[in-house]
Structure 1
């Protein structure tokens, strides 16, 4: 009886309501401290599932780094002396220029659309976000068709004697640094435009009124008041753009410019996997450097505004600048949306007349839907335990699991594919050369998209709901399934939609991992464009653009 009373006393001091922790799981928890204000540990099932998810997401990246350590000093030195310096210059100069100009265009457009009397400003708020639905490699195809050698403009130039006499030979070379710079800038500026627009709409008018009372002009207010408050938004957009440029392969390869991603792909094509791992490690280091710089600058950005005196910002009259502003906005929209769409529609019509939409085309479409749908479903299943653990049971362990789950998102698809090839070729050969590897690569690449959407929905659910369910004797994993999932299902589905569309557009991982004869829409765009068969590539590109409108609606609601 006394022993029973002692046990009861210990239970009151250390409640473990609904704890499903087995002896094995308890050993996993040894040394892990969870937040005291949650009242209990997450349970073995939930923690183990989340931990395995984080580990699986990070294994390919860790394995690539591990393999590079055995490349040998000679190979490292040869690459450091020959290829790596030029690749660093090509990659970082392109990343810097695209980020600088995309940020400048995005901030300027956001300010014009949200803070001035631009005609049709409400319409422009979503029209200027449309470049996000056009993958840069699809935009590159359109620009090659219009401005490339033997393209539309080239033919007009050759047939116009006056242009030939005055300006000489055709002056535009799309296969250059400036060609890929323009393409990536035009199709990445919406990252900054959306985030900066959200910040501008929430900016308190009081600060501008104080600045005007001190005699500041509109331009001075923009630089001294608006820009400081926009720095967090600018930083967030800039890091997204920089990481995208570092990871892009399709547009860069189509426009024949060589960065690390293209070099890694070509090394894999020549079966020099070891050199590919060396180049991958250098690219991983560059990515970590950019993330470190962003984290350091973020710590210095301490700009706050109170909501108790919030006033909506004024809409400034453009006056004589109305038409120049409208021309600027319309020009950006035309060259980033209208021109590519016109090209795709024109060649898609030719493709329809030539019978492009045959059984093979729909087979490619089904392959895309199959692997993308599989990846979306897996991401929705894996994202919730990781997010739930981090939100409801915060600790160093849950934070590490979450960061490990983000490992594949910050790195190019080429590196993720390289790690998967090494692992499955050596340790799980039964799945090698199957389309399941493509789906696994999509999961590693885009799981954080599902996590972000799920986390946004979970943050709106009070932890008291969890505690009430736990008080009825339910373990954490059952609470998550029976209570949390029904409450946040729309957010989970939105994350799955984002993963689905991102997977359909993913090119490098699909190219490296697809089994023989398994082509997707993205792969066919690559193959047909490489052979200049544009009427066969255009329908697939147009279909991807149409499907990509799905996440745009989510982003516009979010920002």
Structure 2
């Protein structure tokens, strides 16, 4: 057989093995996620070069850029340190009450960032500004790093560390050379989510009086609805998102972390804290008090003594049912869209799959108001039947929160050995059968974690819901914001308390799922 014939046969085998159907569907998901980006690019191009330069190169944009970058860098690094440190204490030390602390350290996800800011600001205005913004958003977002890192530490095979120690490596060197590389996907995935959240955060920073691109865009859109200045600010935010994605991709590298089998079915040896036990307990207790005690204590305070506090049971029930329904629908749709993209990116890594996977993150870095305006423009021009419908709102949630599900599903997939898929295929099982009988059972905890994260995000979403919800539709977040924006703290408190109450079960399930994402 000639060399050309062999090359053609190999190419044909690769072509048959490549899942073209999954690739085509993943491309459609990526295009949907890129709709807001296309909107920003099209509008920016229509402005003209001279006008765009005038709108971008001005002192106000420089201030917003400095604020956004410094806040994102500081908070992302702090979340990495706090989240990883807390995960290590819970999973690898003799910390008393580890199960309770695991739940409490994940619980801040049940408190939306703007409710956390509300709790701090309504008690003291001294938190307003850069230092307060770093403090409050770190307390809100560190669980996004804590959960995946704790799950990875829980699932690591202790034989890897034991082998390193048998070769003469001490505890510190073993941790640095064996454990940390295994934590890299979880840490970087969590840090990426923190960074994307910060680029798009509006409510918390508005309350903290710390201007960033998101608050600047909102103010510009309020002044001139759909004006060019706001869109040019959004274009700079898109560039920041691109830099963040490229930085995370570069730091992640091309390492693979799956192993065949589940490793040793035994826990790793825990570090005995000894005399440092009170210090460790004080650290996690202080972190929990700041992240949960302050906002929840503030809510109880305003519920008890607020002069504007009322309990409109009918409005509360309607808003709660609407929030839960939208959260469930958004979680299901978003997770279903994330599965093929994550599977393609992990199982068939290539330039195409990497571009498709990275494309799904842009919507999450843009403010909800930009995503909403993009979808309003598209629906009015090309899909009028879905304008002002719940369908369009669910699409917006999918665009905004697809990365939350993507990170969880990918974290599970990279730990599931592809050799099991190959073995099932060699036994005659088709692609759908392999997906249903092998892959999905392995990544089910990741799917659950991603769905829980999306549910939490949808229940607490604010700006896109304000613009896209059908007339007469109210959620807990929108009702809370309308009251807190008019400084009616007592009237806002019941909606915030109910929002937290609905989010707590999802946060608890998230802790359960995260323990199973990397099972032993």
Q: TM-score, normalised by structure 2?
A: 0.80
In 1: Cα distance, 2:175 partner to 2:427 partner: 50
Partner of 1:139: 116
Counterpart pick for 1:98 among 65, 75, 80 = 75
Matches within 5 A, 1:74-473: 74-148=51-125, 173-201=126-154, 202=156, 204-206=160-162, 209=165, 230-270=183-223, 271-299=225-253, 313-348=268-303, 355-384=310-339, 386=341, 400-450=355-405, 456=412, 462=421
Query: Does residue 56 of the first structure (1) align with residue 32 of the second (2)?
Result: yes
In 1: Cα distance, 2:464 partner to 2:61 partner: 22
Query: Could you tell me how far 1:91 is from its partner in structure 2?
Result: 0.4
Query: Does the C-alpha gap of structure 1 residues 61 and 125 become closer, same or farther in structure 2, counting only changes over 3 Å?
Result: same
Contact 2:161 2:178 in 1 (8 A): no
Contact 1:113 1:124 in 2 (8 A): yes
User: How many equivalent pairs are there?
Assistant: 496
Contact 1:205 1:314 in 2 (8 A): no
Contact 2:405 2:454 in 1 (8 A): yes
Post-superposition Cα deviations, 1:465-516, rounded to whole Å, max 9, x if no partner, equal 6788887xxxx78x79998999799666665444333211112222333355
Query: Does the C-alpha gap of structure 1 residues 296 and 384 become closer, same or farther in structure 2, counting only changes over 3 Å?
Result: closer
Deviates more, 1:179-188 or 1:408-417: 408-417
In 2: Cα distance, 1:433 partner to 1:487 partner: 38
Query: Could you tell me how far 1:434 is from its partner in structure 2?
Result: 4.1
Query: Does the C-alpha gap of structure 1 residues 109 and 506 become closer, same or farther in structure 2, counting only changes over 3 Å?
Result: same
In 1: Cα distance, 2:11 partner to 2:407 partner: 22
In 1: Cα distance, 2:148 partner to 2:514 partner: 10
Contact 2:320 2:499 in 1 (8 A): no
In 1: Cα distance, 2:23 partner to 2:245 partner: 28
Query: Does the C-alpha gap of structure 1 residues 323 and 379 become closer, same or farther in structure 2, counting only changes over 3 Å?
Result: closer
Query: Could you tell me how far 1:175 is from its partner in structure 2?
Result: 1.8
In 2: Cα distance, 1:374 partner to 1:423 partner: 22
For the residue of structure 2 that corresponds to 1:531, the secondary structure is coil
In 2: Cα distance, 1:224 partner to 1:43 partner: 39
For the residue of structure 1 that corresponds to 2:271, the secondary structure is coil
Post-superposition Cα deviations, 1:396-426, rounded to whole Å, max 9, x if no partner, equal 6566544444442354434322322332344
Query: Could you tell me how far 1:251 is from its partner in structure 2?
Result: 0.6
Larger Rg belongs to: 1
Contact 1:268 1:276 in 2 (8 A): yes
In 2: Cα distance, 1:489 partner to 1:323 partner: 38
In 1: Cα distance, 2:400 partner to 2:198 partner: 15
Partner of 2:454: 499
For the residue of structure 2 that corresponds to 1:70, the secondary structure is helix
Query: Does the C-alpha gap of structure 1 residues 349 and 407 become closer, same or farther in structure 2, counting only changes over 3 Å?
Result: same
In 1: Cα distance, 2:142 partner to 2:39 partner: 34
Contact 1:117 1:317 in 2 (8 A): yes
Contact 2:476 2:495 in 1 (8 A): yes
Query: Could you tell me how far 1:122 is from its partner in structure 2?
Result: 3.5
Query: Could you tell me how far 1:350 is from its partner in structure 2?
Result: 5.9
In 2: Cα distance, 1:91 partner to 1:389 partner: 33
Post-superposition Cα deviations, 1:64-118, rounded to whole Å, max 9, x if no partner, equal 1121122232343243123211111010111122122222222322333333332
In 1: Cα distance, 2:162 partner to 2:437 partner: 43
Query: Cα RMSD over matched residues?
Result: 4.1
Query: Could you tell me how far 1:264 is from its partner in structure 2?
Result: 0.9
Query: Does the C-alpha gap of structure 1 residues 74 and 395 become closer, same or farther in structure 2, counting only changes over 3 Å?
Result: closer
Contact 2:405 2:450 in 1 (8 A): yes
Query: Could you tell me how far 1:142 is from its partner in structure 2?
Result: 0.9
Query: Does the C-alpha gap of structure 1 residues 117 and 555 become closer, same or farther in structure 2, counting only changes over 3 Å?
Result: closer
Counterpart pick for 1:71 among 47, 50, 60 = 47
Query: Does residue 524 of the first structure (1) align with residue 479 of the second (2)?
Result: yes
Q: Structure 2 regions of 5+ residues with no counterpart? A: 1-7, 516-520
In 1: Cα distance, 2:436 partner to 2:185 partner: 38
Partner of 1:557: 513
In 1: Cα distance, 2:263 partner to 2:107 partner: 35
Query: Could you tell me how far 1:53 is from its partner in structure 2?
Result: 3.3
Query: Does the C-alpha gap of structure 1 residues 308 and 197 become closer, same or farther in structure 2, counting only changes over 3 Å?
Result: closer
Q: TM-score, normalised by structure 1?
A: 0.75
Q: Structure 1 regions of 5+ residues with no counterpart? A: 1-12, 15-32, 149-172
Contact 1:408 1:444 in 2 (8 A): yes
Contact 1:134 1:187 in 2 (8 A): yes
Deviates more, 1:427-436 or 1:114-123: 427-436
Query: Does residue 539 of the first structure (1) align with residue 494 of the second (2)?
Result: yes
In 2: Cα distance, 1:356 partner to 1:176 partner: 33
Contact 1:114 1:197 in 2 (8 A): yes
